A and B are shown apart, each in its own frame.
Chain A
């Protein structure tokens, strides 16, 4: 038995009625001031466009070096997976796996997963995999750390600047674009709307 229209604050459990918001509006819990949900026009269309951009930028960011360094005529450039592999080769496998997951695999899952959900929704389809897929993405999200990784790249650049010539590569600009696209997409998309659409297509989820 479900009660649509009812909403429990995820931070203080206060039960309240879901109300329609004007575009750009934001519902805030009266008791603990948590943001409950937001409303934006064409949220699924916009999120889809931003996620497509994110996919392209992610591909560029991982195909081209983020930074290139030159010491006395010798050049090195680094991609994310190469850095992770180097850590593994030096015996710091745990750290290597950690950065590999948080800077590469989880962002990839987040982008690919969102596309796999938004494209069918846009086409009006609701295949059965959408519900578990969306659940997985919501769990992965806090571990996808592209923006922290980029700040790390900037700090490294400053640290290296005195001993070598460091040049930001195409990959870095792609990553900056990626951060903006991901942040924008997640602020645009209202998860309540996605869940509501999934519910229409699938009244009886498997469990």
Chain B
């Protein structure tokens, strides 16, 4: 018993304007009759692309956390901050709610995205029929929170722009900022490449 999906009934739903249409018989690919976007039943090579982007993001994740994101120099000396030491600094300076927020956005969210997307990609490859709804909800959550990881990149930018007073006080961006920005962009692209409809495709295996 499988649910009536567009794909099973021979329809294509446009991923841009969501118009449901029936492709001309024999056509391998065609354009959406309403908005002109390329139509495909599922995002092309979704699992392979998701994996490729995830692996790239995981590689950048290391230097993103090891390299300093910010270098502060003043008459008191020079100090390098990584993502984690920045969180520790916020915590010790008394603003623990903010420290928690930055920890969530810069440390937990990227890790959650790496692990959760790997889990989703694996479960789709194994055509798992378990926890369909929770997995869809997990994907929805990832799509929503992914962009918030850019927080630290913006913090660096504002500090660099403001604290620009020569010998008195000067903040520069470190190499970590670039790697970290790379992690955020790659994990966002990875979750965009994944197609949550594939989670539900496993339910109709019997009739192919």
Residue positions of A touching B, CB distance < 8 A: 1-3, 6-15, 31-34, 66-67, 69, 71-72, 74, 76-78, 82-84, 86-87, 90, 92, 94-96, 98-99, 102-103, 131-132, 134-135, 138-139, 142-143, 145, 148-149, 151-153, 155-156, 158-160, 162-164, 166, 191-192, 195, 198-199, 205-207
Report if A78-B161 is in contact (Cβ < 8 Å); known contacts: A3-B22, A12-B200, A31-B200: yes
A3/B11 contact (C-beta < 8 A), A11-B136, A148-B147, A195-B17 known: yes
B21 on the A face (CB < 8 A) = yes
A2 to B20: give the CA distance in the assembly, Å.
6
Chain B interfacial residues counted at CB < 8 A: 72
Contact B157 A99 (CB under 8 A): yes
B136 and A195 form a contact (CB under 8 A): no
On chain B, the residues within 8 Å of A132 by CB distance are: 36
In the complex formed, the residue of B with least CB distance to A148 is B150
Task: For B172, list chain A residues within 8 Å (CB).
Answer: 90
Of the candidates A92, A153, A158, A160, the one whose C-beta lies within 8 Å of that of B163 is A160
B141 to chain A: which residues have CB within 8 Å?
A: none
Number of A-B contacts (CB under 8 A): 220
Q: What residues on A are CB-neighbors of B152 within 8 Å?
A: 152
Q: Which residue of A lies closest to B200 (CB)?
A: A12
* CA A198 to CA B4, docked complex, whole Å: 28
New A-B contacts (5) at CB < 8 Å, excluding given A71-B169, A76-B161, A149-B150: A2-B21, A92-B178, A95-B156, A151-B151, A159-B159
